[in-house]
Amino acid sequence: MPVLLQFLTGLVFGVGLLVAGMSDPAKVLNFLDLAAIPAGTWDASLAFVMAGGIAVAFIGFRLVLKRPHPVFAERYSLPTATAVDTRILAGPAIFGIGWGLAGFCPGPALTALGYGTAEALVFILAMLAGMAAARRLARTQGTQALLPRSSS
């Protein structure tokens, strides 16, 4: 796939995050703060981000997958794992705690880098260190974290 198209695809994703308001950790944390519902200060916006994203992807994936293969690849690389194992419980549990602590998940944190703030850089460097640790642990366990063609 041409590098410029990859760049554009990432740009669309990033602009989507910015338009949605997800690049603002305060907005994300205000969604996760359910105690704010009775207080009347809850920001439900994130639910609309999910709704918009899933609506487009649900329809778009179905249209795209009717084609025999991707434009720039011989085959689709869809996740094959179906088992609900300990890793699909432990990983997201740990991820959620980190997300709730600062309001950053990987996509918004990477767009935040474009603001040129030290906070975003600190978070990203720590995130990459955590990723490297998880990959190493998975290798020593003999399981493969993030197979080359698995989901992400």
Partner 1 sequence: MTATAFTPLASLVGGGLIGLSAVMLMAFEGRIAGISGIASRLLPPYSDGAFAGRLAFVAGLVAAPLAYAGVTGSFPVQTVEAGWPLLVLAGLLVGFGSVWGNGCTSGHGICGLSRLSLRSLVAVLVFMTTAIATVFVTRHLL
Give residue 35's Cα distance to chain centre: 25
Give min distance, CB of 116 to partner 1, in A: 9
Give min distance, CB of 86 to partner 1, in A: 10
Residue 142 corresponds to which tokens in the numbers above?
A: 């003999």
Establish if 125 lies at the interface with partner 1 (CB under 8 A): yes
> Interface mask (CB under 8 A) for partner 1, residues 11-40, using x and -?
xxxxxxxxxxxxxxxxx-xx-xxxx-----
d(CA 127, CA 133): 10
The residues, ordered by sequence, that sit 6+ positions from 29 with a Cβ below 8 Å of its Cβ are: 100, 103
Which residues from 60-99 bind partner 1, rule CB under 8 A?
60-61, 63-65, 67, 69-73, 75-79, 81-84, 87-99
